[in-house]
Amino acid sequence: MSFPKDFLWGAASAAYQIEGAVDEDGRGKTVWDVFSHTPGKTFEGHTGDIACDSYHRFEDDLAALLTLGVKHYRFGISWARIYPDGRTLNEHGFAYYDKVVDLLLQNGITPWVTLFHWDTPQALEETGGWQNRETATLLAQFAGVVAEHFRGRVSHYFTLNEPQCFIGLGYEAGWHAPGKALTGEPLLACWHNAMLAHGMMVQAVRKADPSAQIGLASCGLGCIPENENEADIEAARSAMFSFGMHPEFSLFSQNAFLDPALLGHYPEHPFFDSPIITAEDLALIHQPIDFIGLNFYNAYIVRAGESGPEHVSFHRGYPRTAIRWPITPAMMYYCTKFVYERYALPVYITENGLSCNDKRYLDGKVHDLDRIDFLQRYLREYRRAGESGVDIRGYFHWSLTDNFEWSNGYEERFGLFYVDYETLERHPKDSAFWYRSVVESNGENL
């Protein structure tokens, strides 16, 4: 029972969720600055203005990484620091990331850069945002400039983080920035432009740094079988790749992103029947990449019904995390396997974790047994995927520290380190020490 010998262990974060310093060194406003400052959009009006103040406290984040003993860190570079209005280059924007990358390298930690984690410059939102194809071109320009700047220091990139969220929640459900509620063709335009951005970013990064390793970070509700029999397993597989199977979140399917990016076509569904999708565009989106990143949190339970796959309700009292997401460890086996069988590329879990009602106990420590139990269950299933032949390469825990959980603000705590938002100090939770033992033993202790 073991993980592959050269398996990577890491932790993850994203620019807007941790950095703060929203007005420093020429940074432009992003859609999240505007959205979080709009009354009623985030929990108790929380914003990312200060967040974890990582912009001034990266050394503290580094200390946290060293405590974990991880050798890989996934973090974001903010587009609006480098291109404040999306179009005009701001060289000062690199200073912070130069420091981050150099300190990581000096400490033997490999940087994995996410090029887009939802923080579109507000100026571009004002010219149509993701409804405008130019946004894709400009994001690719940023990607190329970053890869050029860090050539020789950064060699792993993710293009988009979860278009399922920044389009699905941002432009369809309206829960995330910029808070729009589109349907039909306008929504499809957003989706298609995001897909084009992915393809163009791959091209731009490859051109700037031909030796870079490039992937993407996809999410979507996974599907696991109710029972481990062939019919239910097949039903889960087919539901997982059926666009529209999850009616309340139509864009939350893995293949809405992975099919065009890796197979060169959209899922078969009337939503995608549109003249705006051309063969040239599909070719542009379909660029060779090196790995798939999966952000895995929870899955639907599916069974083979009379007339095809059906969702099974979670039973009363089903275990859930603090944010009320169901705990479904089997997704780390089944969903990873389904993805690998369909797309045949190495897989990294680029996010996995949970929010807990963490607090510092009277002894000053954060006893988060729920997190340890959750991770142990999920990681065992991930290991099982590897043992069954899936090419699993690594695991990035979400998140290194507690941070700004988008519209949930600071109400949700996903970190291995507890952030005291009064003092901005980071305190290792019990899970941090536990994760260190997993990293040290390459999961032998699970």
- Identify the H or E element spanning 224: strand 222-225
Q: Supply the minimum distance, in Å, between the C-beta of residue 351 and ligand NOJ.
A: 5
Q: Supply the minimum distance, in Å, between the C-beta of residue 303 and ligand NOJ.
A: 27
Task: Tell me if 119 contacts ligand NOJ by CB under 6 A.
Answer: no
Tokens of residue 63, six digits:
């200390």
CB distance 172 to 181 below 8 Å: yes
The one-letter amino acid code at 345 reads L
Binding mask 298-337 for ligand NOJ (x = CB under 6 A): ----------------------------------------
CB distance 413 to 353 below 8 Å: no
Task: Tell me if 58 contacts ligand NOJ by CB under 6 A.
Answer: no
Task: Tell me if 164 contacts ligand NOJ by CB under 6 A.
Answer: no
| Of residues 252 and 272, the one with the C-beta less far from ligand NOJ | 252
* Whole-number Cα distances in Å, 63 to 59, 60, 106, 129: 6, 5, 13, 37
Task: Tell me if 358 contacts ligand NOJ by CB under 6 A.
Answer: no
How far, in Å, CA of 102 to CA of 106, rounded? 6
Binding to ligand NOJ in span 398-427, by CB under 6 A:
398, 405, 414
Active site residue 162: yes
| Of residues 160 and 277, the one with the C-beta less far from ligand NOJ | 160
Q: Binding ligand NOJ by CB under 6 A: which of 47, 54, 159, 161? A: 161
Task: Tell me if 172 contacts ligand NOJ by CB under 6 A.
Answer: no
Cα–Cα nearest to 332, from 383, 293, 257: 383
From the candidates 162, 172, 405, 412, give the one annotated as an active-site residue. 162
Active site residue 444: no
* Whole-number Cα distances in Å, 217 to 15, 162, 440: 15, 6, 26
Q: Supply the minimum distance, in Å, between the C-beta of residue 14 and ligand NOJ.
A: 5
Cα–Cα nearest to 191, from 121, 235, 243, 115: 243
Binding mask 274-303 for ligand NOJ (x = CB under 6 A): ---------------------x--------
Three-point CA angle 165, 278, 116, nearest 5°: 30
Q: Supply the minimum distance, in Å, between the C-beta of residue 405 and ligand NOJ.
A: 5
Q: Supply the minimum distance, in Å, between the C-beta of residue 311 and ligand NOJ.
A: 21
Task: Tell me if 370 contacts ligand NOJ by CB under 6 A.
Answer: no
Q: Binding ligand NOJ by CB under 6 A: which of 351, 358, 370, 402? A: 351
433 SS3 class: helix
How far, in Å, CA of 255 to CA of 257, rounded? 5
| Of residues 190 and 282, the one with the C-beta less far from ligand NOJ | 190
Residue whose tokens read 């957003």: 190
Tokens of residue 62, six digits:
């580094």
Q: Supply the minimum distance, in Å, between the C-beta of residue 273 and ligand NOJ.
A: 30
Q: Binding ligand NOJ by CB under 6 A: which of 19, 33, 125, 162? A: 162
What is the Cα Rg of the chain in Å? 20
Residue whose tokens read 């969903």: 335
Q: What is the DSSP string of 349-407?
A: EEE----B-----TTS-B--HHHHHHHHHHHHHHHHHHHTT--EEEEEEE-SB----GG
Angular region, 174: left φ>0, alpha ψ -120 to 50, beta rest: left
Task: Tell me if 356 contacts ligand NOJ by CB under 6 A.
Answer: no
Q: Supply the minimum distance, in Å, between the C-beta of residue 162 and ligand NOJ.
A: 5
The dihedrals phi and psi of 150, each to the nearest 5 degrees, come to: -100, 10
| Of residues 209 and 358, the one with the C-beta less far from ligand NOJ | 358
Q: Supply the minimum distance, in Å, between the C-beta of residue 321 and ligand NOJ.
A: 10
The dihedrals phi and psi of 128, each to the nearest 5 degrees, come to: 110, -10
Length of the chain: 446
From the number of C-beta atoms within 10 Å of its C-beta (0-12, 13-18, 19+), residue 432 rates as buried
Task: Tell me if 33 contacts ligand NOJ by CB under 6 A.
Answer: no
Q: Binding ligand NOJ by CB under 6 A: which of 14, 64, 115, 345? A: 14
| Of residues 157 and 414, the one with the C-beta less far from ligand NOJ | 414
How many residues touch ligand NOJ under the rule CB under 6 A: the total is 9
From the candidates 19, 125, 351, 412, give the one annotated as an active-site residue. 351
| Of residues 100 and 233, the one with the C-beta less far from ligand NOJ | 100
Give residues in contact with ligand NOJ (CB under 6 A).
14, 17, 161-162, 295, 351, 398, 405, 414
- By annotation, the residues acting in catalysis are 162, 351
